[in-house]
Amino acid sequence: MTDRRGFIRQGALALAGLAAFSVSCSPFGLFSSGNDFKKWIWLNPETGLSAGKWKSRFEMMKSHGIHGVLAQVYAARVALYESRNLQVGENLLETLIAAGRETGIEVHAWMWTMPNNNPFYAENHPGWFAVNGLGQPAHTHPAYVPYYKFMCPNQPEVREFLKQNVSELASYGNLAGVHLDYIRFPDVILAETLQPKYGIVQDREYPEYDYCYCEVCREQFKLKTGLDPLKEMDDPALSTEWRQFRYDSVTSLVKEVLAPEIRKAGKTVTAAVFPNWENVRQQWSQWELDAYFPMLYHSFYNKGTGWIGEQLETLTKALVKPVPVYAGLLMQALSPAQLTETIRMIREINAYGYSLFAFHGMNEAHWVVIEQH
């Protein structure tokens, strides 16, 4: 559970229940031929910089082999682009798109999806927000950190709000795609190394971190099963059906609302996703997007760098529709030597490439490695 700018997210891994898929099922295949290996980078752009400064940065990235930039232009409060739907700050997206066009770098608009930290919506639409197993809504009782004000993916008005958000972004000319982040529920169990930071031990799913128990979710689940998870289950956390309902809630939002709206504008749709998808109710293997960027931040799980390659292979094979999967690498957890070995490993398994988190976490030695690999 974490913010890309601070508290990053994760939990424990569980992919055993997903089936591998045949390479022949997709024109992409499961793994790269080597010639289409791509380097990506997540960017938290500052405001107030000139167009010339951004062009210079993009030229530097291009010289190091960067193919595409995932630029954060909406982080749950202020949009860095023209919007009728959201509070607007600097119209930075057009500047970034222009820099990308001039330097040959793809620009994808990285947006937070389910969190909403604009006080207007908490005050005027409190029913939009997800509710935990204790009956507490996320806008008044966010899990872990104050910005964890997640909305509920089953609320009709939330689905329409998010549809408008992606529609606005996808309408930008020369934008390559829309990159979805936080397209999930809050972490019901945090990654191992994060739990001590918050003084908690999560040896099971506790109700204060378990979402969503709003009336809409409970009513929809009761229509499917005849059971109210809050009133007619002794321990909802043990219910396979209730867990799958939350997976399907997010999948429905992606496949029925967000992806179609983005593709209607001729843009690609990608997502930043978790390796431990069960802990955030994010069964992304079923989403059928154009590419995925799993955040393989090994240090969050007390793992070595070899875990990155293992996860990349396992997660790629789990896709119901095989498409490129790019390994998300956490720069602060990788020395230049470790980064070199990690990229070699990614190439050896013929993966499609990698993505760096993040631009401002790179040092000179990192850039040397990226240029060489």
Give the DSSP per-residue string, 197-221: GGT---SS--GGG-B---HHHHHHH
Is there a domain that residue 105 lies in?
A: yes
Burial of 200 (0-12, 13-18, 19+ CB in 10 A): middle
Is there a domain that residue 12 lies in?
A: no
Residue 331: φ, ψ to 5°: -65, -35
Per-residue pLDDT of 80-137, as tens digits, reads 999 999 999 999 999 999 999 999 999 999 999 999 999 999 999 999 999 999 999 9
Element (DSSP H or E) covering residue 18: none
Domain that holds residue 90: 23-372
Cα–Cα distance between 338 and 24 in angstroms, integer?
Answer: 34
Say what the pLDDT of residue 93 is: 98
What is the band of 33 on the pLDDT scale with cuts at 50, 70, 90? low
Is there a domain that residue 304 lies in?
A: yes
State yes or no: pLDDT of 28 exceeds 60. Answer: no
Say what the pLDDT of residue 35 is: 74
Is there a domain that residue 254 lies in?
A: yes
State both tokens at 354.
């990698």
CATH of residue 144's domain is 3.20.20.80
Average pLDDT of the segment spanning 232-242 = 96
Is there a domain that residue 356 lies in?
A: yes
Count CB-CB contacts under 10 A for residue 265: 17
Nearest Cα neighbor of 306 from 327, 276, 331, 280 is 327
Is there a domain that residue 364 lies in?
A: yes
Q: Write down the mean pLDDT value for the chain.
A: 92
Cα–Cα distance between 215 and 361 in angstroms, integer?
Answer: 42
Q: Which amino acid is at 31?
A: F
Is there a domain that residue 341 lies in?
A: yes
Per-residue pLDDT of 322-347, as tens digits, reads 999 999 999 999 999 999 999 999 99
State yes or no: pLDDT of 234 exceeds 70. Answer: yes
Say what the pLDDT of residue 202 is: 98
Say what the pLDDT of residue 30 is: 58
- Tokens 């997010």 locate to 250
Domain count across the chain: 1
State yes or no: pLDDT of 19 exceeds 70. Answer: no
Is there a domain that residue 120 lies in?
A: yes
